Structure 1
Amino acid sequence: MGVFTVLTDYIKNTFSKLNQYTILQLLWVIAIYYFVLNSLLDFASTIDDMTFNITSIKEILEYNQSILDFLQKYEIVWIELTILIFFASIIVILVTHIIFEDYIFIRSCSRYGGNLSLWSLMIYGTYKLYIFTGSYYGIVLFAISAVAHWVKEKKSNLLRRFY
């Protein structure tokens, strides 16, 4: 009972910190985990089918494949909806800033559609990177992160020279 209480308190504490903006970031992190796990599974099964016995999780793999099929089937709808939400957010932002200029809460919430569309686009980009790289997704993701870190460091060093 004590372990269960600690676990539930941790989960409550973690989820109580989520808001409309951090939920989108959490969804992106979940997507990255999902695609990395899929790529690792693909990579492991291509190395040696005999070492990794995946027949015991056949039902999970079927469910996983149905998720991937769903994403592929509705990919066009996903990107179209993302674009529509982005344009709708521009209209909503303009209207709320003109009509509700004194209502800070309404004005701050009106930007949510833009954030939603940008994070949806990031998740879509993550999905497309997984589709393009397949089994090597984790390695490619790590390489992209290393290059981004290198560019950030070079940019920081360059800016230090001027200041």
Structure 2
Amino acid sequence: MISKSNRTLYRSVQLSLLAAGLLLVALFSGCYSFKDVSIPPEVKTARVNYIENKARYINPQLSPQLTEKLRQKINNQTRLTLVQNDDAHYDISGYVSDYSITTSGISQQGNQQQASMNRLTVTVTLIFKNNLDPTKNFEAPISRNFEFSANISLQQAEAQLSETIIQNLTDEIFNRIFSNW
């Protein structure tokens, strides 16, 4: 049997937990949040323009795949409606500004040094316009490096890395736009 003082204590703890829960709901109700995504409640629409490829070397699949993957991620992980008109609340565009290869590892073969690893650097210049709050507009380079064996061609490396390149760049762009960290 529970004493009267224990019941009072139990009820007090329940009320405190309820009050804390209500406080949390009140704090977070002003902004939509999902998986570290933060979107002000007045923002309802977004437009993702085609991400052009302006790099010296052009991977023909990169731009269409990156554009589509970004659209899918925004559609699946936010409450925003994707639109194609000029009055979207968020207007997202950009271009591939760098797609280059450098040697990242060297091995010794007898008296000669040889490249053992290559690095593919892909940079997308992101252009973000917040049509409801122009003070939030920005243009920023988003760059990722991808290592591959020097024993394979660039075309072979692209075939192996394509999915990783698209996923990593999409995540970086999405996080730069929607995360508050």
The TM-score, its normalising length taken from structure 1, stands at 0.27
Question: More helix by proportion, 1 or 2?
Answer: 1
Q: Which has the higher contact order (CA 8 A, sep 6+)?
A: 1
* Structure label with greater radius of gyration: 2
Question: More strand by proportion, 1 or 2?
Answer: 2
The TM-score, its normalising length taken from structure 2, stands at 0.25
